[in-house]
Amino acid sequence: MLVLQQLLNGLSFGALLFLLASGFTLVFGLMRIANLAHGAFYLLGGYVGVVVTAGTGNLALGLLAGAITVAILATGVERVLLRRVRGNELAEVLLTIGIAFIVADICLAIFGGNPMTLSVSEWLKGGISLGVMPYPKYRLFIIGFTVLVGIALYIFQKRSRLGAMIRAGVDDREMAAACGINVDRIISGVFVLGGALAGIAGVIGAGLLSLRPGADVDILLFALVVVIIGGLGSINGAAVGSVLIGVIDATSRVWFPEFSYFTIFAPMALVLVLRPTGLFGRKV
Amino acid sequence: MLLHRTYGQRRQIALVLGLILALVLSACAPSGADDPAEPETTEAPATTDAAPATTEGDSEPEEPTDTTEAEETSEGGTVVKVGFLSPVTGPLAAIGTEMKQGWELYWEEHGVDAGSYTVETVYEDDAGNPDTALTKARRLVEDENVDVVVGPLAANTALAVADYLVQQGVPNFHPVTAADDLTQRLANPLVIRVGAMTGSQATYVAGQWAYDQGYRKAITLCSDYAFGWENCGGFVRTFTAAGGEIVDQLWNPLGTPDFSSYATQIASSGADVAFIGSSGGTDGTNFMRAYEDFGLGDQIEVLGNCCLLDQATLRDAGDIAVGLRSVTYWAEGRESPEVERFIELYDEAYGGIPSLYVANSYTAAHVFAEALKASEGELDPEGLVAAAREVNLEDSVFGPRRIDEWNNPIGNVYITRVEQREDGSYWNVVEETYEEVSQFWTFDPQEILDSPPYDRTNTGQQ
Amino acid sequence: MTGALGTKAGRFKLLGLVVAIAAGWSVPYVFSNYQVSLTTLILISAMLATSINFMAGNVGLVSVGHAGIAATAGYGLAWSFAQGHGLGTQLLIALALTLVASFVFGLTSMRTSGIFFLMATLALGMVVFGLSYRMSAITGGENGLSGIRRPELFSSYWMYYFLVLVVFVVVTAAIWVVTRSPFGTALRGIRESESRMESLGYNVAAYKLGAMMISGVVAGIAGVLSVWLMEFVSPASAGFLRSALATLMVILGGVGTFLGPLTGATIVSWIEHVLSTYIERWPTVLGLIFIVVIVFAPDGIGGAVRAWWQGRRRRSDREVARSSGSAVSADMARSPGGSQGTAE
């Protein structure tokens, strides 16, 4: 029973990680840049979502507000800044560090430093019986929500026209451009989508972990580990990596409390040494 | 071409290195004798710098500055310059800001004159980073020539800063830092704790109280660093000394995002009371989130420390926490004119109910002002601390307070319960009061000082 | 192409160097002791930045985890000091830990490049941070290890400043020598094209690992000096902020430029320690500067100055009708063509 409970704990945390890592890896797949402001996007989206949810009492509105705020910010960042250094991958990555500094600092200025959590709707509060034991509803909700988002992403990527264009852009940017695809607009779109996913992750995550200054860096680290293990640019990899890290994190806290931090990084180091592109990554 | 280039370069390198060497040699001699000693020429010749001599030498320039300070302003009230260190940016920004508010609030209320002195405060941001804190402390001491440093907040920054200030001979007043050793194994006549209690002081009461309530099996969850070890150490020591049994001890790394696995373990541990030694803030709200999700309240009695249900957490946790008990020295719901006035004052100035950290610095200012009133003329560093040690407050916001010979407060510890107020906010009201609690509880001070500090292996188990 | 003293540029540079060192030497005579401590801090930060600059300039790999290596060395020193070991043992333990950390960094990153390297180092730096937090029995956890004292000879702030200055000059000179050696040339060859160097018979992974070890040792030295300055070490010194700021210093000063790290360290430290007294939102200022530099001066301040200098030189060269002096010898980063020629 304890095992099952810890597995669910790990799965629900992993689900949150997937929400976060999918946006990160999506952007990387197309743009070849690691958006290190992703954690700051998460934080901003979370704060906005928490405030809006508290004000309206509606989680859906909070999610929307968080996603839209970050999407707008991401649009601005992409249009005004990233575009200027397009093609210089390193400059793009370093630029996102600068953005992370500013966004996090402005979050502190606006929302203050007190920890904030999401006040979830009444129907998500408390536990629900799973036959053998009760389990928190909100955690089950996260798992369900994430599965939906995952399926939506999958369908979008594999079945829609836009998704096909994105895949073409990922495979070969020049060729896609030659085929008449407006790669520039696709890139903007994906960056904004990635930001929106980070915002959503922030709102959902605020129901599980509290938001505070510094949470952006903590969560970014988890996202990094997940995508390094799963392979940069791969949604499937992000899914596998998230579940793996989530479960390892939860179970090791119980059975190897001394090594609870190390157990997350051992798999990452192993992957880096043996298969630097990650489990599902392609050679770049 | 390659050869030619390297040859030329080698010559260049050789010349540069030679030059450096020459500079080193030529400069070494005078540098020892006269020059940078400039700020401390009056002191022992630097060439004979044995380590202890220099540390004294470093501290020496401070005192002349103190005196000049005193002379300069002797027309009005003598100005006492205070350097106030707290993190107003970085992860601890919220707490650091409240800490600053407490200090400001006291002087706004009482005016900056205390006895024959006028208090002038220079604020510095240490970003919650020990390295920054140390650099800022240096600036305060060496550039601003402050007479006293108040702060900083986190134990890691506080230990680093205290270590430096003692070397410089500058008194250090600690409003918030709880680290046991500051007033135990590392006690120093220049370092005094004036707001908070030590990490284990209030939790000694927790163990005793839990046993007296009839609980016999306990599980603990504490932050995995000195503050948490001390918290748990206090609880475990008195609980087991009374005859209770510790079923399990869990340690959560500071900043643990997800407390679900701890909540699950607590629920299934078979204990009848759980003591939570939280570092407060995010760890507090994250724990409360898991507490609610897993319905811990229905399964086990949860007892918090000073910080689990402090306003900093309570503002967010709200109704989840109603009815929960804590062991703490700050009870904002205590019926006392002193507390009521303080809360009203804070509400007017900043809005809301003041947290533990506001109360800590407010009390620090209170003690500091009283110490100044009891002093006269030129302040000498140790004399100022000694004067603070003699301060005896009949009723502070924490209740009666005095300070022991190790420079640590003796005062009330309360068993509190969270209640909702009429205006919808939440606070901790007093259920029971333990008076005159010292940092050594009822144990022999020497016995505690001789034993190693609390940590994960030395858990206080009796 | 002669960087020798015979040329006007060479003499000019040497003069500049002498003036710079003399200026450095005079700091304790002129400034208050707080400012001397701050300058010491800047020099140490510049050393950490130099270690990152070495990798970035020569191998083209930008690290955001070097504070982790520095902190490892610092913890080694602090822990052995707390255990009561002598100075020799302290330094030995610090060195051993530095080598181990650099090796791990090198091993996990030698097969990566570009952004993968950046992310791997970022994650590794965070591992050090996490471990220093959680291995609290050894590291003191959040509270860190305090009460560390530097060797008696350097216990005064100004003697310590001289020590740091000398170490800084020596380290910078050593890095300069390594950069100009065949090893450095091979590294730049790898930067330009790994596959070509591989087909030429170079063991690329070993070269990368070697470069990481050198860079790591420099970071380790900075770590030890930093602990001696603060007389204290805590997890914050391994944190993301430390690493990111050190990288920021390199970018600000200009990747691959010689005095870039020092320039960058001066600006960043000034914002963090001085400006922060007056402006509460200093992290935003830092972020803005970061962005402005990357967008408008991607080669950093050093790069901008060099471009200006080269432009001037070219003009004057045209006047003298000689073109051989155009390769300013300080240019280490951006002369791949020539360097590869020598490697072959």
Tell me the nearest-neighbour CA distance from A201 into chain B, angstroms: 14
Give the pLDDT of residue C325: 34
| CB spacing of B8 vs C147 below 8 angstroms | no
Return the structure tokens found at C285. 């200022």
Decide if pLDDT at C22 tops 90.
no
Contacts of A276 in chain C (CB under 8 A): 111-112, 116, 120
B245-252 and B217-223 strand pairing: parallel
C29-48 residues touching B, CB cutoff 8 A:
29, 32-38, 41
pLDDT mean over C189-215: 91
Give the pLDDT of residue B165: 94
Q: Read off the pLDDT of residues C285-298 as tens digits, 9 standing for 90 and up.
A: 989 988 988 888 88
Contacts of C138 in chain A (CB under 8 A): none
Give the pLDDT of residue B457: 83
Contacts of B96 in chain A (CB under 8 A): 113
What residue in B sits closest to C342 (Cα-Cα)? B2
Q: Read off the pLDDT of residues B378-418 as tens digits, 9 standing for 90 and up.
A: 889 999 999 999 999 998 999 999 999 999 999 999 999 99
For residue A136, what is the enclosing H or E element?
strand A134-136
- Residue-by-residue DSSP string for C144-191: -EE-----GGG-SHHHHHHHHHHHHHHHHHHHHHHHHSHHHHHHHHHH
Question: Which of B284, B294, B318 is opposite residue A136, by nearest beta carbon?
Answer: B294
Question: Which of C111, C112, C115 is opposite residue A34, by nearest beta carbon?
Answer: C115
- What distance in Å separates the CA atoms of residue B328 and residue C272, rounded to the nearest whole number? 36
Question: Which of B89, B286, B294 is opposite residue A108, by nearest beta carbon?
Answer: B89
Q: For chain C, what is the mean pLDDT? A: 84
Query: Does the beta carbon of B20 lie under 8 angstroms from any beta carbon of chain C?
Result: yes
Strands of the B113-114 sheet, one edge to the other: B113-114, B117-125, B78-86, B148-150, B172-174, B191-193
For residue C285, what is the enclosing H or E element?
helix C282-296
A193-222 residues touching C, CB cutoff 8 A:
217, 221
Decide if pLDDT at C328 tops 80.
no
Choose among A212, A221, C46: nearest CA to B128: A212
Which residues on adjacent β-strands are paired with residue B403? B409
| A interface test, pick of C208, C240, C250 with most A CB neighbours within 10 Å | C240
| CB spacing of B130 vs C232 below 8 angstroms | yes
| CB spacing of C18 vs B19 below 8 angstroms | yes
pLDDT mean over C257-283: 88
Give the pLDDT of residue A283: 57
Going from the N-terminus, what domains does chain B have, and what CATH number goes with each? 3-197+339-407 (3.40.50.2300), 201-328+412-447 (3.40.50.2300)
What letter would DSSP give residue B139?
I
Return the structure tokens found at C64. 């955001």
Question: Which of B1, B15, B455 is opposite residue C137, by nearest beta carbon?
Answer: B455
Q: Read off the pLDDT of residues C56-110 as tens digits, 9 standing for 90 and up.
A: 999 989 999 999 999 999 999 999 999 999 999 999 999 999 999 999 999 877 7
Q: Read off the pLDDT of residues B357-372 as tens digits, 9 standing for 90 and up.
A: 999 999 999 999 999 9
The residue with tokens 């541990």 is B269
Tell me the nearest-neighbour CA distance from C179 into chain B, angstroms: 12
Tell me the nearest-neighbour CA distance from A25 into chain C, angstroms: 13
| Of the candidate ranges A223-227, A229-233, B330-334, B414-418, the one whose mean pLDDT is the lowest | A229-233
ipTM rounded to 2 decimals: 0.84
Q: What share of chain C in percent tops pLDDT 70?
A: 90
| CB spacing of C134 vs B163 below 8 angstroms | no
| Of the candidate ranges B343-352, B368-377, C14-23, C95-104, the one whose mean pLDDT is the lowest | C14-23
Question: Are C127 and C68 in contact, with CB atoms under 8 Å apart?
Answer: yes
| CB spacing of A94 vs C247 below 8 angstroms | yes
pLDDT band at C33 (very low <50, low <70, confident <90, very high): confident
Return the structure tokens found at A59. 């989680």
In terms of pLDDT, which residue wins out, B10 or A222? Answer: A222
| CB spacing of B156 vs C144 below 8 angstroms | yes
**Nearby residues of B282 by Cβ (< 8 Å), 6 or more positions away:** A115, A210, A212, A215, B255
| CB spacing of C142 vs B58 below 8 angstroms | no
pLDDT band at A260 (very low <50, low <70, confident <90, very high): low
Distances (CA, A) of C187 to C200, C253, C254, C332: 13, 21, 19, 12
Contacts of C107 in chain A (CB under 8 A): 273
Q: Is the dihedral of CA C314, C316, C317, C321 positive or negative?
A: positive
Give the pLDDT of residue C113: 77
Give the pLDDT of residue B72: 42
Question: Which of A34, A106, A284 is opposite residue C119, by nearest beta carbon?
Answer: A34
**Nearby residues of A266 by Cβ (< 8 Å), 6 or more positions away:** none
A106-145 residues touching B, CB cutoff 8 A:
108, 112-117, 119, 125-127, 134, 136, 138-139
Contacts of B313 in chain A (CB under 8 A): 115
Question: Are C118 and C62 in contact, with CB atoms under 8 Å apart?
Answer: yes
Decide if pLDDT at A220 tops 80.
yes
Tell me the nearest-neighbour CA distance from A156 into chain B, angstroms: 31
| CB spacing of B49 vs C156 below 8 angstroms | yes
| Of the candidate ranges B61-75, C167-181, C205-219, C279-293, the one whose mean pLDDT is the lowest | B61-75
In terms of pLDDT, which residue wins out, A119 or B63? Answer: A119
For residue C261, what is the enclosing H or E element?
helix C260-269
Give the pLDDT of residue C304: 80
